[in-house]
């Protein structure tokens, strides 16, 4: 047996959900290019596609949207759980705690069959809707509760993205900003078998309830090697300070072999297609705001230009994290909430993989390459 660190390149499952070609910069959901979905679709429609496999007709999308809107509220007990959490705790830990608790308020694990395959499609669909609808509510609730305020109640007359911005900022959502948030949610909803999705698959293969499947994925996403890079990008741009300092800063950074956050991806050898879309959204926002964007955006553009000369020959280009944090901050989102927004979006992909996994389930039980001591005699304490 050959040990491959990180299981890099080792197929762990078969899936029809998403496809990635890192050489050509192609990402598709169920065969539909992400470029087309981000431009023409909504998060609700993209979630339907991931979960069900095809573009919905008007009636299907309307019914799915109505179910999501009807399930945005969560039990008051969940709010009470949040109120006893430390206010300086990280939002990802608060989110994982509350998602893990949902199964106690919306039980149904007994409806998972013992032979390893769930035939109860009604339970599967109900939990997909309940969890997906709750995610944005939970993230927005924590933002207010940690400031000592009661959470803003969700509204059913708004789209998923509009309602999230309304609950976060407690003001009527701007249509252009809402569309940008919608596109961000579409872009982050799925990305083949990454660390958090693999964690969801492993957890789901045991027939754990879906809220714990998502909670395990959230815990994995919280690690700095998976989620959170977009927050580090902004901190890095703050450190650079101005456009004029970019070139020297980058040379020093590369000379000391430090990470340039937001650049490089294990899968992509060209610029991440999602980064191109996000940069376009920033330009749209700049036009909408009559030319004004954070000075950090100008620093980011100059950093990409300088990095193209130094890193592109090595196949290192901007990834999805390079521009997403700039967009979120421009929309009034605190930096430590960037990864929870990632989780809101990626829940669609996690649940799609959970549904696919339990339709032909087999519990994950990988092996190992043992390189420890051979069999040896036990020594009594007196003889040591």
pLDDT band at 122 (very low <50, low <70, confident <90, very high): confident
CA-to-CA separations, 15 to 44, 355, 360, in angstroms, rounded: 21, 11, 11
- If pLDDT is split at 50, 70 and 90, which confidence band does 65 have? very high
Q: What is the pLDDT of residue 132?
A: 98
Domain topology for 15-223+336-359? Citrate Synthase; domain 1 (1.10.580)
Alpha-carbon distance 247 to 239, whole Å? 13
Nearest to 58 by CA among 67, 45, 70: 45
For the whole prediction, is pTM greater than 0.75?
A: yes
Do the beta carbons of residue 198 and residue 351 sit within 8 Å?
no
Domain ranges of the chain: 15-223+336-359, 229-330
Tens of pLDDT, residue by residue over 324-381, are: 999 999 999 999 999 999 999 999 999 999 999 998 889 999 999 999 999 999 999 9
What CATH code would you report for 229-330? 1.10.230.10
- Token pair, residue 95, equals 């989110």
Spatial contact of 154 and 73, defined as CB atoms under 8 Å apart: yes
> Taking the alpha carbons of 141, 47, 194, 317 in that order, is the dihedral positive or negative?
negative
Q: What is the pLDDT of residue 118?
A: 57
Q: Which of 257, 322, 277 is nearest to 296 (CA)?
A: 322
Q: Is 158 helix (H, G, I), strand (E, B) or coil?
A: coil
E strand or H helix that includes residue 66: helix 58-70
At residue 79, the pLDDT reads 94
- Catalytic amino acids? 265, 321
User: Residue 113 has what pLDDT?
Assistant: 66
DSSP H stretches of helix in the chain: 34-40, 43-52, 58-70, 76-83, 91-105, 121-145, 160-169, 175-187, 195-205, 210-221, 229-240, 246-255, 273-288, 295-310, 320-330, 338-359
CA distance 27 to 334: 28
3-state secondary structure 349-370: HHHHHHHHHHHCCCCCCCCCCC
Whether the predicted pLDDT of 51 surpasses 90 = yes
Report the mean per-residue pLDDT for the chain: 94
């Amino acid at each position: 047996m050959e040990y491959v660190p990180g299981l890099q390149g080792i197929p762990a499952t078969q899936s029809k959900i998403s496809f990635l070609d890192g050489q050509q910069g192609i990402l598709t959901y169920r065969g539909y290019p992400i470029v087309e979905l981000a431009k023409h679709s909504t998060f609700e429609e993209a979630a339907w596609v991931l979960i069900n496999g095809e573009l919905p007709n008007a009636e299907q999308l309307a019914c799915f949207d109505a179910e999501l809107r009807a399930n945005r509220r969560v039990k008051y007990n969940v709010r009470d759980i949040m109120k006893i959490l430390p206010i300086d705790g990280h939002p990802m830990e608060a989110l994982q705690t509350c998602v893990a608790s949902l199964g106690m308020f919306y039980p149904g694990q007994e409806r998972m069959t013992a032979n390893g395959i769930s035939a109860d499609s009604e339970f599967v669909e109900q939990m997909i809707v309940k969890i997906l609808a709750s995610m944005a509510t939970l993230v927005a609730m924590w933002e207010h509760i940690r400031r000592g305020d009661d959470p803003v109640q969700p509204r059913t007359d708004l789209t998923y993205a509009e309602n999230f911005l309304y609950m976060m900022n407690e003001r009527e959502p701007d249509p252009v900003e809402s569309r940008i948030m919608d596109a961000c949610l579409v872009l982050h909803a799925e990305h083949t078998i990454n660390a958090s999705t693999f964690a969801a698959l492993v957890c789901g293969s045991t027939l754990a309830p879906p809220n714990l499947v998502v909670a395990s994925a959230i815990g994995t996403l919280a690690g700095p090697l998976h989620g959170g890079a977009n927050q580090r990008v902004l901190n890095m741009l703050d450190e650079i300070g101005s456009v004029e300092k970019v070139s020297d800063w980058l040379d020093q950074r590369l000379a000391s072999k430090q990470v340039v956050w937001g650049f490089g991806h294990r899968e992509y050898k060209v610029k991440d297609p999602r980064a191109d879309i996000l940069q376009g959204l920033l330009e749209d926002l700049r036009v909408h705001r009559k030319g004004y964007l954070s000075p950090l955006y100008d620093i980011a553009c100059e950093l990409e230009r300088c990095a193209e000369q130094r890193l592109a020959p090595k196949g290192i280009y901007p990834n999805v994290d390079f521009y997403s944090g700039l967009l979120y901050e421009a929309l009034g989102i605190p930096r430590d909430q960037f990864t929870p927004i990632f989780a809101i979006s990626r829940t669609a992909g996690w649940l799609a993989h959970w549904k696919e996994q339990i339709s032909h389930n087999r519990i994950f039980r990988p092996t190992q390459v043992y390189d420890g001591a051979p069999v040896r005699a036990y020594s009594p304490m007196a003889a040591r």
